[in-house]
Amino acid sequence: MAKTIYIRLRHRIQSAPEGWIRLGDLAQIIDSEEESSLSRLNVYHVTPNDRSMAVVDVMHIIKLLRAAEPDAEIQTIGPSQTVVEIVSRKKKRKLVYFIAVWLLLFVGAAMAIINFHEDVSMQAVHQKLYFMLTGKEAEKPLLLQIPYSIGLGLGMILFFNHVFKKRINEEPSPLEVEMFKYQMDLDQYVAMNENKESVKKLHEH
C-alpha cells in the first residue's frame, strides 16, 4: 500500500534575507515514516530580488514531493499558499529616536483629546453637572474634572488592554483586532499579486 503524506501549509513565516527555506519551515508534515527526511527538503531559495515578500504555492511543493516520493499519495490541508516575510537583522534603536517618537505621539494624543473636549464643550457640561449636583456654580468644577481625567486614562488602558508591555487579560483589544484584519488583507493581497500562478493574462493574437 502506498504511503500517504499530509501537508498543511503555514499561513505566514519569517525568513532571513538569503538562504533556503525547507519544507519543515513552510508546512506541518505527517508521514508514515517516523524519521522522515521530507522536512529537510529544500523548497524555496530566498534571493535579494525577493525584497521583503515572497509567496510559495502548494503546487510547487507538490511537484517537489512527486519528485522525492513518486509512489506516495499527497493530501493537502489548509492554506494553498504561504507568505514569506523576509526580515533583515534589526538595528538597535537609538534612545533619541525613541524619545522623539514618544513625544510626538504624546503631544498628538493630547491635542486630539483637547480638541474633542473643546468641540463638545466638555467644561460647560461639567459646570452644568456640578450645578445640578451641588446647587452651586463653579468655573472649574474639580470635583468632576479630576475623577473624569483619571477615568479617561483608565479607560484608555482598558481599551488597549495593556499596561506598558503587560497584557491585562487574554482578550484582544479592538486595536489588535483591526491590526489582525489589516494583516490578513495584506497577506491576501501579497498572495494574489506576488504569486505568478494566481493571475494569468490571455493576450489576444
pLDDT digits (tens, 9 = 90+) for 118-147: 888 888 999 999 898 888 888 888 888 999
pLDDT above 70: percentage of residues in the chain? 89
The alpha carbon of residue 130 and the mean position of all alpha carbons in its chain are separated, in whole angstroms, by: 45
Label residue 8 by pLDDT band (50, 70, 90): very high
Q: Give the SS3 label for residue 102.
A: helix
Rounded CA separation 150/39 (Å): 54
Grid cell listed for 198: 494566481
84-88, 90-94, 135-139, 144-148: least confidently modelled range: 90-94
pLDDT above 90: percentage of residues in the chain? 14
CA terminus-to-terminus distance, the chain: 49
Asked if residues 73 and 2 have their Cβ atoms less than 8 Å apart, the reply is: yes
- Residue in the block written with cell 449636583: 133
pLDDT value, residue 199? 62
Rounded CA separation 10/75 (Å): 15
Region of 137 on the Ramachandran plot (φ > 0 left; ψ -120 to 50 alpha; else beta): beta
How far is CA 181 from each of CA 54, 193, 204, rounded to the nearest angstrom? 20, 18, 38
pLDDT at 183 over 70: yes
pLDDT at 191 over 60: yes
Tens digit of each residue's pLDDT (9 = 90 or more) over 110-119? 899 889 988 8
Q: What is the mean pLDDT of residues 37-49?
A: 87
Rounded CA separation 140/122 (Å): 11
pTM over 0.75: no
Label residue 37 by pLDDT band (50, 70, 90): confident
Grid cell listed for 85: 516575510
Higher pLDDT, 178 or 170: 178
Higher pLDDT, 68 or 169: 68
